[in-house]
Structure 1
Amino acid sequence: MKIPYHWKQKWIKLLQRWRSFKKEANLNLHYLQDDLYEIDKVAKPYFRAFTVLLSLLVIASILIPIGFELDPEMRELNQQLEIWVIIGFVLSFVLRLGFTSDRPAFLQNRWFEVILSIFSVLVLTDIGVSLITFIDAYIFGIDDPREAFITFLKGYLLLFVIIKFVQFLPELLDQQKNTARFLVYSFLSLIAVGTFLLMLPGATQDGLGLQFIDALFTSTSAVCVTGLIVVDTATHFTLFGELVILTLIQLGGIGIISFATFLFLFISGGLGVGQMNTIKDMVAEKNTSLVASTLKRVVGFTFAVEAVGAIAYYISWEVSFPNQGQRILFSVFHAVSAFCNAGFSLFTNSLADPLNATNMGINITTMTLIVLGGLGFTVIWELIRKRTDKGRWRSRLSIHTRTVLVTTAVLIIAGTGFILWMEWGNTLRGYSYGNKFMLSLFQSITTRTAGFNTVDTGAIGISATLVMMIFMFIGGSPASTAGGIKTTTFAVLMRSISMTIKGYNRMELFNRTIPNSTIFRAVTVLLLAFSCISVSTILLSVVENHAFLDLLFEEISAFATVGLSRGITGDLSAWGKFIIVVSMFLGRVGILTFMVAFASRMDTHKYEYPEETIMVS
């Protein structure tokens, strides 16, 4: 059939008009997209503030049922918060959809949010509630579908909050010019959050929550992996409180920034040079390009060792637990606490109960975890990656690793011998020869860093107590979860004394010359630690009415983040607890690091003054 000519003309004119309209529409859309982009840049701070507000609502809505008893007033408040959470989620989605320049792609990539938003709108209406109730009743069989959906939505939003924080971390790292100060602030922030959570009524068995000073003390002790306690962890806290403490120990041991950066690497896969340069000191890695791989090894090794330790605890325990869930909780809690050198225990007497004190499996597991956690990730990784034959293996270890291993072995052996000799007829009386050796070995290892005990620390004699204080002061190794002045500092100082007595004008160790800057740093750490302990002990003696030996032991234990006590921690006054809190914090971040964080830096002089000697005798 032949199409009339005038119809063709009309069709051509119609196509021309359509093309003209499409061109004009595309041009206007292009301008609109540019406008939306500019609006999006301007609105970004407001979106961020809105996201923070929504995050706070989500966290509050999650914490209220956990941390408070749901009386009618609290239940009504929680329901109001849940409604605002739903409204905020829908509003956030609509605003982001409105400001995006590519809505089809936005909807395609966020289809799950689309579904949640639709269900959220339905939940806010009576018709939607009836529809969801009908669907769940006949398909899923859920008793309260609305509550189930809200719980799921809050869990999703909590995950969203965590991801947003992790995504914000690179920007936060880029803004840091002082790594030491950033480290200090990260620990303070974690301590503040832990203090707030432990003050919630749901954290304690009595439903009252901890008082501020006790919550601050417990949170600091957990974050700084110390182990000193003002209330009995085993009986005073609920499951929620115990999980809070466990989380604080884990994040304090690894470092919250290190753990958050690990999550970012897991999600995105990479960091910028500036970001890696900021975090390299936190993971004890000198090479900036190896920061990401080192961080993954640290976190991966931590979780792997803790998992093996939890299994070993589970198998070794002969204690009767009410159920398997509690046995698993105890196993995981003590594995994390031991590897992070925290010393927190869910037993009232730590591991000094008869069933634990002489249990071979418990002793070996705990000592192994403590030593691995106290050696330092740098040393452990160097030991793992060495695959040469035994004849050449030792010679290829770095001087740092060799120093750490030799010093650690000497301290463990010496400590075991001293305690065995001094406590043979005291706290070790009544045990077999094998158990006496095992108990002495355990106290020697735990004294330097961990805080667990298999004998009554308060019953130990004065001579052994003085030896333990020396070992606590020395502590563990650098780049570990241990405290103290560190084994390498002690080794450098001892070697420096030996070389000076022999008349050398330089220091040598394992056929290597140690630079003077290392010796200066070791002396500085020693003097700062001694000064801090001295001042704190004097202050404690002013505000407390306890024996001087007990106060000195408590202070050294706090500063060295050990956690052992002669039984006076719970009896300290508020001022005494605050002094111990400050000591634990300085001991964990490092007093030298703390002073560097807030000291004004000076440029290195490019000139030298004439040399002249000073008489020192």
Structure 2
Amino acid sequence: MKKKQQRPRMSPPKFLAIGFVTIALIGTFLLMLPISGEQGIHTRLVDAFFTAVSAISVTGLTVVDTGTHWSTFGQIVILMLIQLGGLGFMTSATWIALVLNRRISLRERMILQEAMGQYQIQGIVDLIRRVLVYAFTIEGIGAFLLTLRFWKEMPLTDALYLGVFQSVSIFNNAGFDLLGSIHGPFTGFVIYGTDPILNIINMCLIFLGGIGFIVMFDVMEFPKCRKLSLHSKVVLSVSGALILIGAFALFALEFSNPKTLGSLSYPQKVMASFFQSITSRSGGISTINIGELQQSSQFFLIMLMFIGAAPGSTGGGIKVTTFAVLVGSVITMIKGKRDVVLFRNRISEAIVYKAVTLTIISLLVLVGFSMFLSATESSDFLTILFEAVSAFCTVGLSMGLSTELTDVGKFTVAILMLLGRLGPLTLAYALNRKRYKDLYRHPEGRIIIG
């Protein structure tokens, strides 16, 4: 008697990809319900889908104002999608399983390993516990501080609701805000551009959400072991350098622009420059009008958005570690050396190949989608490119194109956000059924480069 063949299980990358799409579709259905719209307004499929994908991918691009279009129920749905997207639905499911004292299977641990970007499966459940504790602690502190600040302008219950929503949204680098219900649709945080307290709180939340939980753990353990991992050193050093370079560049380029920094005092210009530098790599909120920036500044923000945040964080982009490996590879080639070395550690060829592959795939995706959007949307190419990079790198900054997109453009940008949240390599692995190991090597050939 023949044994019944077992149906092959989905690989962890494919499971994650299908999981994110499924949650996005569930969110779309919930947001289309009349109860989700303010005063029972029915939301069109394309707008609900765009919003759900933007929330689950923690991007923050919006086609309708979050504070005025959605009811409290709709806003809570968006908030839950942001939390699921920021932590990862497998992380959230593991937390529920732990609360119910259910055993985490080996397959579930493998999926968690893929979701968290870890090299080994050992200790993955303990890592998830710490992720949840750190995330909820930071979000709680942020909510408390924001509530105290908003309490000056509104009743305590309203301030508490706004504080919780904004803390979760900003820490997860989502970029959604409810300020439209207070200061008018799509006003965002521009009206608070000169408020030092709110700026500092938001910058801290964005930075903590963007460096990743692994780096947080290392920093917390540093007083005991007096040592940081190579990953943490690279993330902290490159992130710090990009923040300083970004702030200096924006300060210099926008210093005399009356529509952005020109009308601010010197300390306010410095604060605004640092805020835009930090948020541009994944935050999604801004304190100046991005559409009023000089074209040179807008293009510079595109480069910062493309680099993005750290692996294992709530941010997107090709990641600062990928950027560090690419820069290290260029320096190695210029010096005529063989190995890429970061902080006296040799980087393996496999990691270098992965960094190059990820960057090239990302560039090809952005080129293809930008060309398509330039054919469907009536806007200049820089605006379209900015929107495409912001969507794919899950940043959420916009020059104003989101609300003017056609239905085709909305679906296109939504797909870009999903691709960006899943990651090009994860998606490629998900679509690849089998990975074969070469049984032989071809003879070496030579071609001329340059």
TM-score, normalising length: structure 1: 0.69
Task: Report the AA paired with residue 177 of structure 2.
Answer: S
SS at match of 2:341: strand
The CA distance in 2 between the partners of 1:416 and 1:510, in whole Å, is: 25
Greater relative CO (CA pairs within 8 A, separation 6+): 2
Tell me the CA shift for residue 606 of structure 1. 4.0
| Aligned counterpart in structure 1 of residue 170 of structure 2, from 329, 333, 338 | 338
| Aligned counterpart in structure 2 of residue 485 of structure 1, from 306, 318, 324 | 318
Contact 1:370 1:445 in 2 (8 A): yes
| Aligned counterpart in structure 1 of residue 16 of structure 2, from 167, 176, 183 | 183
Task: Report the AA paired with residue 370 of structure 1.
Answer: I
| Aligned counterpart in structure 2 of residue 273 of structure 1, from 106, 130, 155 | 106
Q: Which residue of structure 1 aligns with residue 347 of structure 2? A: 514
| Aligned counterpart in structure 1 of residue 158 of structure 2, from 305, 326, 330 | 326
Matches within 5 A, 1:345-356: 345-348=177-180, 349-353=187-191, 356=192
| Aligned counterpart in structure 2 of residue 401 of structure 1, from 219, 222, 232 | 232
Q: Which residue of structure 2 aligns with residue 28 of structure 1? A: none
| Deviation readout 1:79-100 (Å, 9 max, x if unpaired) | xxxxxxxxxxxxxxxxxxxxxx
Q: Which residue of structure 2 aligns with residue 89 of structure 1? A: none
Q: Which residue of structure 2 aligns with residue 220 of structure 1? A: 53
| Aligned counterpart in structure 2 of residue 367 of structure 1, from 197, 203, 210 | 203
SS at match of 1:386: helix
Pairing 1:613–2:446 present: yes
Contact 1:443 1:453 in 2 (8 A): yes
Matches within 5 A, 1:447-596: 447-596=280-429
SS at match of 1:553: helix
SS at match of 2:190: coil
Q: Which residue of structure 2 aligns with residue 417 of structure 1? A: 248
Asked which structure has the greater CA Rg, the reply is: 1
Contact 1:313 1:361 in 2 (8 A): no
Q: Which residue of structure 2 aligns with residue 92 of structure 1? A: none
The CA distance in 2 between the partners of 1:269 and 1:372, in whole Å, is: 31
Matches within 5 A, 1:69-84: none
The CA distance in 2 between the partners of 1:176 and 1:292, in whole Å, is: 22
Q: Which residue of structure 2 aligns with residue 382 of structure 1? A: 218
The CA distance in 1 between the partners of 2:21 and 2:219, in whole Å, is: 33
SS at match of 1:604: coil
Q: CA RMSD in A?
A: 1.5
More helix by share: 1
Q: Which residue of structure 2 aligns with residue 358 of structure 1? A: 194
Pairing 1:245–2:78 present: yes
Q: Which residue of structure 1 aligns with residue 146 of structure 2? A: 313
| Deviation readout 1:235-254 (Å, 9 max, x if unpaired) | 11111111111111001111
Task: Report the AA paired with residue 598 of structure 1.
Answer: L
SS at match of 1:508: strand
Task: Report the AA paired with residue 329 of structure 1.
Answer: Y
The CA distance in 2 between the partners of 1:338 and 1:468, in whole Å, is: 19
SS at match of 1:435: helix
Contact 1:312 1:361 in 2 (8 A): no
Q: Which residue of structure 1 aligns with residue 132 of structure 2? A: 299
Q: 1:607 to 1:175 in 2, by over 3 A?
A: closer
Tell me the CA shift for residue 561 of structure 1. 0.5
SS at match of 1:282: helix
The CA distance in 2 between the partners of 1:489 and 1:319, in whole Å, is: 43
Q: Which residue of structure 1 aligns with residue 183 of structure 2? A: none
Contact 2:60 2:397 in 1 (8 A): yes
Greater CA drift, 247-256 or 502-511: 502-511
Task: Report the AA paired with residue 418 of structure 1.
Answer: A
The CA distance in 2 between the partners of 1:481 and 1:320, in whole Å, is: 30
Contact 1:226 1:561 in 2 (8 A): yes
Contact 2:14 2:431 in 1 (8 A): yes
Contact 2:58 2:173 in 1 (8 A): yes
Contact 2:212 2:313 in 1 (8 A): yes
Q: Which residue of structure 1 aligns with residue 38 of structure 2? A: 205
TM-score, normalising length: structure 2: 0.94
The CA distance in 2 between the partners of 1:473 and 1:580, in whole Å, is: 16
Contact 1:285 1:294 in 2 (8 A): no
Tell me the CA shift for residue 612 of structure 1. 3.0
Tell me the CA shift for residue 525 of structure 1. 0.7
Tell me the CA shift for residue 206 of structure 1. 4.2
The CA distance in 2 between the partners of 1:175 and 1:572, in whole Å, is: 41
Contact 1:226 1:584 in 2 (8 A): yes
Greater CA drift, 408-417 or 268-277: 268-277
The CA distance in 2 between the partners of 1:205 and 1:189, in whole Å, is: 25
Q: 1:367 to 1:378 in 2, by over 3 A?
A: same
Tell me the CA shift for residue 594 of structure 1. 0.7
Contact 1:270 1:292 in 2 (8 A): no
Tell me the CA shift for residue 359 of structure 1. 1.4
The CA distance in 2 between the partners of 1:255 and 1:602, in whole Å, is: 26
Q: 1:231 to 1:274 in 2, by over 3 A?
A: closer
The CA distance in 1 between the partners of 2:410 and 2:118, in whole Å, is: 35
Task: Report the AA paired with residue 291 of structure 1.
Answer: I
Tell me the CA shift for residue 318 of structure 1. 6.3
Contact 1:559 1:587 in 2 (8 A): yes
Tell me the CA shift for residue 550 of structure 1. 0.7
The CA distance in 1 between the partners of 2:288 and 2:360, in whole Å, is: 32
The CA distance in 1 between the partners of 2:283 and 2:111, in whole Å, is: 29
| Deviation readout 1:357-393 (Å, 9 max, x if unpaired) | 221111111111111111011111111122347xxx3
Tell me the CA shift for residue 272 of structure 1. 2.9
Pairing 1:196–2:29 present: yes
Contact 2:391 2:416 in 1 (8 A): yes
Q: Which residue of structure 2 aligns with residue 129 of structure 1? A: none
